[in-house]
Amino acid sequence: MGASDKSLGAMMLLVAGLVFTYYTTWAILLPFFDASSPIHNYFPAREWAIRLPAFVLVVGLSGIGFFIGSTIRKENRKKAQKAKLRAA
């Protein structure tokens, strides 16, 4: 089990490194290249360098908020049920 965890962690780290390098090149370094440079063919329009992370952030925060809200709701139901059983 330990070896598979290490390989999974290594793959996740590799993917994160590649995504970071691609995004950094796209958002920060690409403006310094001439518009006719062939490197521009490997990247989407620069406006998506802002839209895509903003969308991921909104979806991620919404998911976290939904998870926290559902957890709080479940805990409150458990507390109400315990209080109802004590009163009966």
Global pTM reads 0.67
| pLDDT higher than 70, residue 35 | yes
Question: Distances in Å between the alpha carbon of 87 and those of 11, 80, 83, 84?
Answer: 54, 10, 6, 5
Integer Cα distance of 24 and 30 in angstroms: 9
Structure confidence at residue 1 (pLDDT): 58
CA 51 to each of CA 16, 54, 62: distance values in angstroms, whole numbers, following the listed order? 19, 5, 16
Mean pLDDT for the chain? 92
Residue 15 has pLDDT above 80, yes or no: yes
* In the chain, where the domains are located: 1-43, 45-87
Would you state the pLDDT for residue 85?
Answer: 87
Query: Mean of the pLDDT values across residues 32-56?
Result: 92
